[in-house]
Structure 1
Amino acid sequence: MKRLQLLRWSGSVLSPRIRQPTCTRSTQSFLTLIRHQSSAPSPPLPEHEQSNNLDFAIPSPSQEAVLKSAKLAALHSRLSLPERLPLQTLARTLVDSSADPSLQFNNKSFAVLGSKLLSYYTSEHIISTYPRLPMGVIWAAVWAYVGHKALSAISQEWGIEHAAAPGCEVDPGLLQFKRLPPQTDIVENGHTLHRGVSARIVYDNEFGERPSQPSPGVEGVPTTQANATFVQALMGAIYLHCGRPVAKQFFKEHFMSRQLPVADLFSFAQPTRDLTKLCAREGFERPVARIISETGRLSRHPVFVVGIFSGQDLLGEGSGPSLTEARFRAAVAALKGWYLYSPLTVRVPSSTEESDAKPWEPAMVDPGEIIV
């Protein structure tokens, strides 16, 4: 019998895979099933190859169980998934690679594509909406939208339930993954180095972090990672089965519909210095702090209102119990007013892929962050 070869991307992802549960299959039924897959009888396998194939039991539900699963059908209907996404593919997105190591039956290939789509759509939305954001804030915003914790929370809101342990007898509507043993300490390899923004852009992932490596001797995945992988796999499956417009609409409904307070992601150590450098780079007059109003200077709870002016233009205003605190908050308000600029009409580059799209107009490109 010919050995099974790995198919290409389109075949391994889109082609339906049908197999029977291996936990209750006998030797004779296994050989009979393979004999029926060929148009001509094949010679018997050597004894050592037969034993290897029989010992390789993959804990995935059968296709008959997929079609009869009420949980899977309810999930398909609850998420308003298109009819072109079959239940077999939805069941495959619920099988983590820790539960089934076979790439033809787990959700790893879907998750790779889905993670790239989520990162791309999120990044272009954030950069097009706020073209002046620093890279650190962009990474934090992308993490807040499509990070592992955010995707895990989304899967819980979808009503995803977990199987106690993976196996062929598990309902296909449950998320299957091998859990980490209790009291398992995951130790990251290597040393933590303080690198610049340029190095993080080149070598790190879409969140500005080093790609995590599996710890040696640790089997299983955390629950948060399994939930996030399922959401990524579902996004990739929708893109492959239903196309880009449906996938983008699904992304808008379930991800971009969430409100993110971008102003809360900023953290300034010396805002007055940064504001001075910004004004010098843009050709503005040097910023000057002036008291706008005050009350209770000699009391226990004074309040000062300070404004930062560049010539006659008010850049920012802040209040505090002291002049130093009020000046600090005014400088922060001025910097946020600059970085949170958003054009009146926001258009992302992927909108040009539509059939009736208007000609693309170049978006605003900021000179970059302030270098001190």
Structure 2
Amino acid sequence: MKRIQLERWSGQLLSPRTRLCCLRQWNQSTPHIGSRRLQSGIGAEVSEVLEEEESIRPIRAGEFASPPPEAAARSAKLAALHARLALPKKLPLQTMARALVDLSADPDPQFNNTALSQVGGSLISAYVSEWLLCHYPRLPMTVLFAANYAYQGPSTLTKIGKEWGVETAAYPGSEVDPGLLQFNKLTPGSKVPSLGVSTRPDYAGFYRRGISSRVVYDDEFGDQIKFPEKDTVTEPVKQPTDMAYSNFVKAVVGSIYIHAGRSAARSFVHAHILSRHLAIGSLFQFKTPVRELARLCEREEFEFPVARILSETGRHSRSPVFVVGIFSGEDKLAEGAGPNLSEARVRAAVSALKAWYLYSPGSNTRVPSEMEEMGAKPWTPVHIDMGEIIH
């Protein structure tokens, strides 16, 4: 019986990346073998394999932290995701595989999705903000921040990523299927790491964090932007699930922008993010709606609003209903129903304020990014409101 050569047989079963790792460890463990000695016996085989692997893919520091780029072409999950999202053919599978590798899985910026997610996040923020401002030009800033978070916050992008059918890997590594989301997960019960230093110039002292300050110094959600403190020893980076999915969705948009252009990225954002229904009216919270309505009518030079009872039923029963209307001169602004006259008046004032702030020119309103397309029609200025009532 012919004897099997175990060294060559085991090497054929290993993947190219794993074979390279094993051969490097063998070569480092035998430093007494010089380059001349490698030309004979098994050393020649090792030298040939190393030259073959280095010709396929260059060596990098921290190798084997994520799947090699050449494994993307053999991933059925990755090809199915590419087809399911109807991504442009210009977008290669290798870039899609990189979009699935989080910073916590592979710290090498050439192989993770940090740069792609930064580009995609900026594009999503720009397209969502211009859509909200052009379709709802009278929204208060607090409601605009909340609407931005509802459309592109980490929770929303996590739901979108899961709806795409993307699954997470148990642990990142070179043997993981490139079609799985790879990140270093937080252990159950561990505290989410918080960032320490704020970017505000007056963070150390007393400051008033008002609406204007949030617009200037904070992010698109009105939250403080913080960075890790310097000269601090931190543990290996671990990522919450919602942030990993959020970075992946942003990286997909950034990949589309890089390979297919702005028009394809904008269409993708409108199809997957802005197409979702959001009840913006439920984001309002008024403290003194009657006073705010009076200030609004004064600013717009309307007649002072007056509440008038329109109808009632069961005044002396256990469940009466009163319908009150708010009038500015002869024009009825809104009406509201309640169990007493005071509640009905407040609800009518809230309805009048929502009718003012939720004004929209229509669904066919153009946005500035449409002018980037070839052959775009001349720009028509959109409605710009004076702003919210400050009291």
Please indicate the TM-score interval, normalised by the length of the shorter structure: 0.7 to 0.9
- Partner of residue 24 from structure 2, selected from 11, 22, 26: 26
**2:228 matched to 1:230?**
no
SS in 2 for 1:67: helix
**CA offsets 1:165-214 (integer angstroms, 9 cap, x no match):** 01001011100000112211136447997610000001110111112545
**2:333 matched to 1:315?**
yes
Structure 2 Cα separation of the partners of residues 302 and 311 of structure 1: 28
- Partner of residue 78 from structure 1, selected from 72, 75, 84: 84
How many aligned residue pairs are there?
340
Q: What TM-score results when the alignment is normalised by the length of structure 2?
A: 0.81
| 2:31 matched residue in structure 1 | none
What pairs up with 1:1-372 in 2 under 5 angstroms? 20=17, 23-24=21-22, 26=24, 32=51, 56-186=62-192, 188=194, 189=196, 195-213=209-227, 217=234, 219-344=237-362, 345-372=364-391
SS in 2 for 1:330: helix
Match for 2:337: what amino acid?
S
Structure 1 Cα separation of the partners of residues 143 and 121 of structure 2: 20
**CA offsets 1:141-184 (integer angstroms, 9 cap, x no match):** 11111110000000000001000001001011100000112211
SS in 2 for 1:82: coil
- Contact kept, 8 Å, 1:90 with 1:234, in 2: the verdict is yes
SS in 1 for 2:138: coil
SS in 2 for 1:160: coil
- Contact kept, 8 Å, 1:61 with 1:169, in 2: the verdict is yes
| 1:47 matched residue in structure 2 | none
Structure 2 Cα separation of the partners of residues 348 and 108 of structure 1: 28
SS in 2 for 1:350: helix
**% identical equivalent positions:** 53
The alpha-carbon distance between structure 1 residues 208 and 55, as it changes in their structure 2 partners (threshold 3 A), is closer
**CA offsets 1:67-126 (integer angstroms, 9 cap, x no match):** 111111111111111111000000000000010001100000000000000000001111
Where in structure 2 are there 5+ consecutive unaligned residues?
1-15, 28-46
Match for 1:26: what amino acid?
R
Structure 2 Cα separation of the partners of residues 76 and 232 of structure 1: 15
Match for 1:64: what amino acid?
E
Where in structure 1 are there 5+ consecutive unaligned residues?
1-18, 38-52
- Contact kept, 8 Å, 1:20 with 1:63, in 2: the verdict is no
Q: CA deviation at 1:34?
A: 9.1
- Contact kept, 8 Å, 1:131 with 1:364, in 2: the verdict is yes
The alpha-carbon distance between structure 1 residues 156 and 194, as it changes in their structure 2 partners (threshold 3 A), is farther
- Contact kept, 8 Å, 2:197 with 2:226, in 1: the verdict is no
| Structure showing greater Rg | 2
Match for 1:222: what amino acid?
P
Structure 2 Cα separation of the partners of residues 165 and 35 of structure 1: 26
Match for 2:141: what amino acid?
M
Q: CA deviation at 1:312?
A: 0.7
The alpha-carbon distance between structure 1 residues 235 and 368, as it changes in their structure 2 partners (threshold 3 A), is same
- Contact kept, 8 Å, 1:23 with 1:59, in 2: the verdict is no
The alpha-carbon distance between structure 1 residues 83 and 25, as it changes in their structure 2 partners (threshold 3 A), is farther
Match for 1:287: what amino acid?
P
Of 91-100 and 205-214, deviating more is 205-214
The alpha-carbon distance between structure 1 residues 102 and 33, as it changes in their structure 2 partners (threshold 3 A), is farther
- Contact kept, 8 Å, 2:70 with 2:94, in 1: the verdict is no
Aligned alpha-carbon RMSD (Å): 2.4
- Contact kept, 8 Å, 1:287 with 1:311, in 2: the verdict is yes
Match for 1:77: what amino acid?
A
Structure 1 Cα separation of the partners of residues 126 and 142 of structure 2: 17
Structure 1 Cα separation of the partners of residues 192 and 168 of structure 2: 22
- Contact kept, 8 Å, 1:23 with 1:168, in 2: the verdict is no
Q: CA deviation at 1:56?
A: 2.9
The alpha-carbon distance between structure 1 residues 286 and 70, as it changes in their structure 2 partners (threshold 3 A), is same
Structure 1 Cα separation of the partners of residues 63 and 197 of structure 2: 35
The alpha-carbon distance between structure 1 residues 25 and 177, as it changes in their structure 2 partners (threshold 3 A), is farther
